[in-house]
Amino acid sequence: MDINRKTAYLVLSDVESKKAYSNLALNHQMIINKPNAPGFVRELVYGVLENKLTLDYYIDLLVKDGIKSLKTPELIILRMGFYQISHMGSVPEYAAVNESVVLAKRYCRTKASLVNGVLREYINKKIQLRLPARGEDEVRYLSIKYSYAPWIIEMWLDRYDVDFVEKLLAAGNETPPMTIRLNWLRVMKSDLIKNLQERGFTVEQGDLCQNALHVKGNNLLDSDMYKLGLFTPQDESSMLVAEKLNPKQGDLVLDVCAAPGGKTTAIAERMNNTGRILASDVYKRKLELIEKEAERLGIRNIETRSWDATRVDSTLLQKADRVLVDAPCSGLGVVRRKPEIKYKEYTTEMERLPKKQLAILSASSSYVKPGGTLLYSTCTVNPDENEEVVDAFLRKNPSFEKKEQILLLPQENGTDGFFICVMKRSESLI
């Protein structure tokens, strides 16, 4: 059995059956199985996840009793086979079929002949297969073409014109670049670039942030440079949060929804290990992620604590120079990194998100000293989680003034979808 396809299957099975995060499941199975072509595994895993609804549409057309007759193992194997045939030109069609049958014999033995037959039929008929007619049901057409849950498309079509939505959908299916954040505490930019290039990596300066580098090459996170804390993988949209917060040496900074700590550590690096950063998260176990990253990066000015950000800590009232509220959100700006987000079911929790975000922002604003900075950010492009939350807050809190507001879009900026709003508290609290 091909170890690479086996690894991809196990990752996809974890995501589908155990609701695991794709990046965590991929890292886990890579460590266990040690595939000899990790790039192939990543391409296959993320390709299937990004195109799941499209693949399921074609599978449903070709399976005699429909896709609902399939159990998870054979469905995953068929998705993998269909994707290899339709999208991976380097894979011969016979190899995609044969290796899929081998997987089926291992994980769903009685369905091996079905897998073989459906894949061969797909090869014979793929040119004839068509998406549903756009004119009959635009939401269904866009859902299947770009593989997004219909409710997401409906929501965006209510907010934006169809051309904007289609570009946003397409951008969400693109492969993001590997972007890293230079750790100024441990290395100069010129030295890091030189070290990367000497190891065969291609390096380009980031577009938005001074400490951002775009890197091409394999196994970057296995390098000694990463282990020594010379850099952190992070999208520029996320880096920009720390830049716009603009912390100064000696500041007291509160990061109220800090885990897993990417923005927290970026702030610490900018503060040159001075001052104090209080990093909070409601989930105590997640604070360990921040602490481990701080240790890797040589950061000593971060304190962690478990705290519900909707509650006000009276001991910190008006004491912070800067407060970051990177609020929990729908995450629809980062689907190119976490494609499983595209298939979330719409729940009442989605409806409650803006209310929760406003509660966190309101509670956290009480920590900002006169003249201090409050920054609200999310990794989504939904106005009801972004602009509308900020506007609702400012209406109730006239002592704060909006200074800068940024909406980053993958189709325009080449980054994750991200919202950043910088607010200033007046010097006088009359």
- Per-residue three-class SS string for 52-94: HHHHHHHHHHHCCCCHHHCCHHHHHHHHHHHHHHHHCCCCCHH
- Longest CA pairwise span in the chain (Å): 77
Question: Considering the entire predicted model, what is its pTM?
Answer: 0.92
29 φ/ψ angles, rounded to the nearest 5 degrees: -70, -30
State the virtual CA torsion across 55, 58, 62, 63 in degrees, nearest 10.
40
Q: How far is CA 100 from CA 76, 94, 113, 148, 309, in A?
A: 10, 10, 10, 25, 48
Domains, the chain, in order of start with CATH, read 3-125 (1.10.940.10), 138-172 (no CATH), 178-233 (3.30.70.1170), 236-425 (3.40.50.150)
Q: Which position among 209, 257, 379, 421 bears the catalytic label?
A: 379
Bridge partner list, 280: 305
Given a contact cutoff of 8 angstroms between Cβ atoms, the answer to whether 374 and 423 are in contact is: yes
What confidence tens digit (pLDDT) does each residue in 65-80 have?
999 999 999 999 999 9
Task: Give yes or no: 108 in active site.
Answer: no
Q: What is the pLDDT of residue 238?
A: 97
Token pair for 161: 């014109």
Angle subtended by helix axes 262-270 and 284-297, to nearest 10: 40
- Sequence-distant (6+) residues with CB within 8 A of 405 are 387, 390, 420, 421, 422
Average pLDDT over every residue of 180-206: 96
What confidence tens digit (pLDDT) does each residue in 101-148 have?
999 999 998 999 999 999 999 999 998 999 999 999 999 999 999 999
d(CA 407, CA 418): 6
Closest CA to 176 of 148, 212, 228: 212
Computed from CA positions of residues 14, 16, 17, 22, in that sequence, does the dihedral angle turn out positive or negative?
A: positive
What confidence tens digit (pLDDT) does each residue in 93-107 have?
999 999 999 999 999
What confidence tens digit (pLDDT) does each residue in 303-352 have?
999 999 999 999 999 999 999 999 999 999 999 999 999 998 888 888 89
Kindly provide the b/e burial profile for residues 356-372, where b requires at least 16 CB atoms within 10 angstroms of the residue's own CB: bbbebbbbbbbbbbeeb
- At residue 23 the predicted structure's pLDDT band, cuts being 50, 70 and 90, is confident
